Amino acid sequence: MRRFLKTWIDPFVLALLAVLALGILVPVPEAAREAVETAGTVAVTILFLVYGMRLSTREVLAGLRNVRLQGAILAATYLLFPAIGLALHGLTGSLIGGSLATGLLYLTLLPSTVQSSVAFTSIARGNVPGALCAATISNVLGMVLTPLLVLAFLGQVGPAGFQGLRDVLLHLLLPFVVGQLLQPLTGSWIRNHRSVTVSVDRGTILIVVLGAVLEATADGVWSAVSWQMLLALVALCGLVLGALLAATWWGGRGLGLDVSDRIALLMCGSKKSLATGLPMAAVLFPASTAAVVAVPVIVFHQIQLIVCAVLARHLARRVH
């Protein structure tokens, strides 16, 4: 059992579930909730500063040369995914409730993952530099595109729609730009000390999730979410992932990409970022709503890890 959990279930997701349970079951006074919310804002700013310091501009420029691959991944992330999200949004409200339906649509508007996309591309023996570049570009663009798509498709969210966008620019994009300016001095050290970025990544998400869940619990949000809704959500997340996996794999063949590039397209174009999605939700949505909106992101994250782990191992045997 221990080996099974380590292989198929992301330990970080288990930590997230523990934080969710803590936030739902343990009553916390208002002053403590405000302190957690402030800590989350600071942590998000530090997170995107570290992202900027870690990213090598040279890698992005090198990966841009494969125009067909990069264009296909961006189209899957910011055109096909949102189209599916919009198609489902009007149909899912009665199944999973309005807040979870909003979260499912929000999920489809996020950038791709970086670490898991590159890791699974490597396991499957695909185009790793292309995957690294595509995932990185997706996240950089996502800092602007995701808030704009949220405003376009979900209307006035957060404290007020444009204030939410302002907060993204202040707490996400500005620290990232500062990090890029510091990257020539700090990039090598941070890339050689992966534990730093992993700790900042995961610590930030746990703080943000805790703050959102505490606020939602205080406002009585969870009374509107049932087990039936959660089961329906799991099925819908599986449906979305399956559609994107099929579209990216066979679409890559239609574009004339070689197998190495098709693997990169499959692994990058079918994923959504938990690391970016949860902090951004905390900025774009009211605190009480952000917790429920985050649930589809967490569910999809775990499903994509399990399914893509199986696919990566299968492709590694098939391709070589």
Opening angle at CA 48, ends 68 and 304, nearest 5: 55
Question: pTM above the 0.85 mark?
Answer: no
Token pair in block for residue 289: 């709503």
Residue-wise pLDDT for 107-126, tens only, equals 999 988 876 787 788 778 88
- Average per-residue pLDDT for the chain: 79
Place of tokens 């998400």: 205
> DSSP string spanning 95-151?
HH-HHHHHHHHHHHTSPPPSHHHHHHHHHTT--HHHHHHHHHHHHHHHHHHHHHHHH
Q: Cα separations (Å) of 9 from 142, 275, 299? A: 27, 17, 12
| Interval 80-96 mean pLDDT | 86
Angle between helices 81-96 and 128-154 (to 10 degrees): 50
| pLDDT(157) > 70 | no
Sketch out the chain's domains with CATH numbers: 30-315 (1.20.1530.20)
Question: Quick one: pLDDT at residue 63?
Answer: 60
Residue-wise pLDDT for 48-85, tens only, equals 788 778 767 666 566 667 788 889 999 999 999 999 99
CA dihedral 217, 223, 229, 234 (to 10 degrees): 20
Cβ proximity of 165 and 147 under 8 Å: yes
